[in-house]
Chains A and B, each alone.
Chain A
Amino acid sequence: MSNADYNDAELLICTASRLMTDGSTAFIGTGIPMLAASLAQRMHAPNLVAFFEFGGIGAVLEQLPMAVGEWRSFNKAVAATGITDLMETAQRGFVEYGFLGGAQIDAYGNLNTTTIGDHDRPKVRLPGSGGGNDVGSLCWQTIAILRHDRRRFVEKLDFLTTPGYLDGPGAREAAGLPAGTGPYRVVTNLALLGYHPMTRRMMLLATQPGVSVAQVIENTGFELEMAASIAENPAPSEEELDLLRNRVDREKLYI
């Protein structure tokens, strides 16, 4: 299958979906994480337990929620509770993965969803933390999903909304965040990235199909660590694309 056969959104969804393991628990936000979770449930992870922050636990994602609190977020779920229960469940260590997005990300996986420019007189006022800071603080491993360019992958955030590794090794624990937590992967339209185990800086693991390492570097506003060998991600399969287009998002809400 050639590159022209899928778009960036489909590529992001398929790449994120493959990271969701069967039987694990994941905090799911609006948009691409929902599509990825729904695809994962149909492909390889039927027992993926989706947590939606306003109370849905274990929904079967037959139809795509348009909002994190709407009825599809607890469709055929095991429980419909409330936000404190969900967040406290994560605070107790029950939730493995959390999915995050943002307007900016830095080398340590810190994210900005609050303001561009000065906080008190911003150039652009963004929505704010939402559940992002809680997911980034309390889930064991977080996966960020973003489009890849220099405007988003920056040396210094305008505002650190959600903690990644803060300013390096040991910083999360020193700040009081739960031990052993932190960013795990970054999924972009150009690459799959992780974090160097020693420096905690973002590390290129694999390029997306047809993308060169030079292109990734060119579109990143900070210096990347490089994995010992950099793979090329497999393109979305026909089965994935078929499920995505004809089952997951059959109303064409997102793709």
Chain B
Amino acid sequence: MNVLYSGKGALLQPPDMEAFRAWNRAKHGGMVSKLMDEHEAVSRFIKEGDYIGTELYGSVRGPMSITREIVRQRIANLRVIGQSVLELDLLLAAHQVRAMDITYTGLEVYGLSNVLRREVESGRVEQCVEWSNAGITWRLKAAAMGVPFLPTRSMLGSDTLEYSAAKVVEDPFGGGRVCLLPALILDVGIIHVHQSDEFGNARIEGISGFANELARASKRLIISAEEIVPNEVIREQPDRTIIPYFLTDAVVHAPFGSHPGEMCYRYRRDEPLIKEWVEASADEAATAAYLDRYIYQLPDHAAYQELVGRQRLADLWGPYAGGAG
């Protein structure tokens, strides 16, 4: 196939499909309990320099408790999927990100990410390779399918393509030009879910974002769950399982694990605390103070919940978060 055009962005994580197959073959180790605390999950499965991805994003079912633990453990030189509201802000603020496959990193209604600006404009983030939201997810989907790339009709003709690592070819079956997106195999994927059993059979309620794709594109997968349920509960309605156990390496029980983001049908987002980050992140000293107060000075997620306040968290629970209300 004749390559008509190549984006000049770096392929931050070149996919090796044979190695991925071999990895997955060796990984399937049976239904054993993977329950552990967040300290163990992060220290065992995330290493300096790893390529990681979080799903969905920090204000909506994002793995915020695990992200805070990554900050607490100061794991450096990470390469990341740059699809984020809040969670990457924390990693960027702590200077832990070296390179990004960026699609959207911002604060939605609150505008630009102050820490993204600081880290990229100063050159501390060394590389930003550009993709669209669908583009990055289709890259994960290619890995999930076990194929080296996927043809798509997005990103064509743009600078987003020029600064990506995608390629353009003529459709060999007689259509027009298509954009080939390289598979993206993550060293570590991190997903926050509503329910999981101890083995890592996991359920998500509401929209599934890109959990299906990210779980299957990850060599190592950390699941944090609002609720740990018995395996029998999973087996009563197996159609609800989005992530089967053999994909999962760690299961962390994390009530309010998405806080200050929301968890649909359970709790709504904590607007004042989101605003607190938006304001703190505008200034470097205030950013450092925020990280200190909410992460470095706390041993774990339980202490975070205590600091935020059990009553405050309980007040977020309820009919606001969708469903019957």
- Residues of chain A whose beta carbon lies under 8 Å from any beta carbon of chain B: 30-31, 52-56, 66-75, 80-84, 87, 91, 110, 114, 119-134, 137-138, 157, 159-163, 166, 171-173, 175-178, 253-254
- Given the interface contacts A124-B121, A161-B160, A176-B178, does A54 sit within 8 Å of B56 by beta carbon? yes
**Given contacts A91-B134, A127-B116, A130-B106, could you give 20 more A-B pairs where the C-beta distance is less than 8 Å?**
A54-B210, A66-B59, A66-B108, A66-B269, A69-B209, A71-B206, A71-B262, A71-B322, A82-B208, A82-B212, A83-B209, A84-B134, A127-B104, A127-B105, A129-B131, A134-B154, A137-B153, A163-B158, A176-B157, A254-B109
| Contact yes or no, B61 A137, CB < 8 A | no
- Given the interface contacts A56-B207, A84-B141, A91-B152, does A30 sit within 8 Å of B116 by beta carbon? no
Taking CB atoms, residues of chain B closer than 8 Å to A120 are 128
Complex: A121 Cα to B125 Cα, angstroms: 10
Distance in Å from the Cβ of B116 to the closest Cβ of chain A? Answer: 6
Of A53, A68, A70, A83, which is in contact with the most chain B CB atoms at under 10 Å from its CB? A83
Is B138 close to A, CB under 8 A? Answer: yes
Taking CB atoms, residues of chain B closer than 8 Å to A69 are 56-57, 59-61, 207, 209
Taking CB atoms, residues of chain B closer than 8 Å to A160 are 158-160
Is B76 close to A, CB under 8 A? Answer: no
| Contact yes or no, A177 B209, CB < 8 A | no
Taking CB atoms, residues of chain A closer than 8 Å to B248 are none
Is B280 close to A, CB under 8 A? Answer: no
Chain B residue with the shortest CB-CB distance to A161: B160
Is B87 close to A, CB under 8 A? Answer: no
Partner of A71, one of B123, B168, B265: B265
- Given the interface contacts A71-B206, A84-B138, A161-B159, does A127 sit within 8 Å of B112 by beta carbon? yes
| Contact yes or no, B163 A119, CB < 8 A | yes
Give B147-171 as 1s and 0s: 1 = Cβ < 8 Å from A's Cβ atoms.
0000011111111100100001000
| Contact yes or no, B137 A75, CB < 8 A | no
Interface of B is mostly: mixed
Of B85, B131, B207, which is in contact with the most chain A CB atoms at under 10 Å from its CB? B207
- Residues of chain B whose beta carbon lies under 8 Å from any beta carbon of chain A: 56-57, 59-61, 82, 85, 102-106, 108-109, 112-113, 116-117, 120-121, 123, 128, 130-135, 137-138, 141, 152-160, 163, 168, 176-179, 206-213, 262, 264-265, 268-269, 271, 321-322
| Contact yes or no, A163 B156, CB < 8 A | yes
| Contact yes or no, A133 B56, CB < 8 A | no
Complex: A120 Cα to B322 Cα, angstroms: 42
| Contact yes or no, A137 B155, CB < 8 A | yes
Q: How many A-B residue pairs have CB under 8 A?
A: 200
Taking CB atoms, residues of chain B closer than 8 Å to A176 are 153, 156-157, 168, 176-179
Distance in Å from the Cβ of A45 to the closest Cβ of chain B? Answer: 23
Chain A residue with the shortest CB-CB distance to B169: A176
Distance in Å from the Cβ of B80 to the closest Cβ of chain A? Answer: 13
Interface of A is mostly: loop
Taking CB atoms, residues of chain A closer than 8 Å to B112 are 124-127
Distance in Å from the Cβ of A21 to the closest Cβ of chain B? Answer: 25
Complex: A11 Cα to B113 Cα, angstroms: 27
- Given the interface contacts A67-B85, A127-B106, does A171 sit within 8 Å of B157 by beta carbon? yes
Chain A residue with the shortest CB-CB distance to B138: A84
| Contact yes or no, B121 A87, CB < 8 A | no
Distance in Å from the Cβ of B284 to the closest Cβ of chain A? Answer: 16
Complex: A208 Cα to B156 Cα, angstroms: 34
Taking CB atoms, residues of chain A closer than 8 Å to B135 are 129, 133-134
Of A84, A162, A166, A253, which is in contact with the most chain B CB atoms at under 10 Å from its CB? A84
Q: Can you list 25 contacts pairing A with B, beta carbon distance less than 8 Å?
A: A30-B109, A52-B207, A67-B109, A69-B60, A70-B60, A70-B262, A71-B262, A71-B268, A82-B209, A82-B212, A83-B133, A124-B117, A125-B120, A127-B112, A128-B106, A129-B131, A129-B133, A130-B106, A131-B133, A137-B154, A138-B154, A160-B160, A176-B153, A176-B179, A177-B153
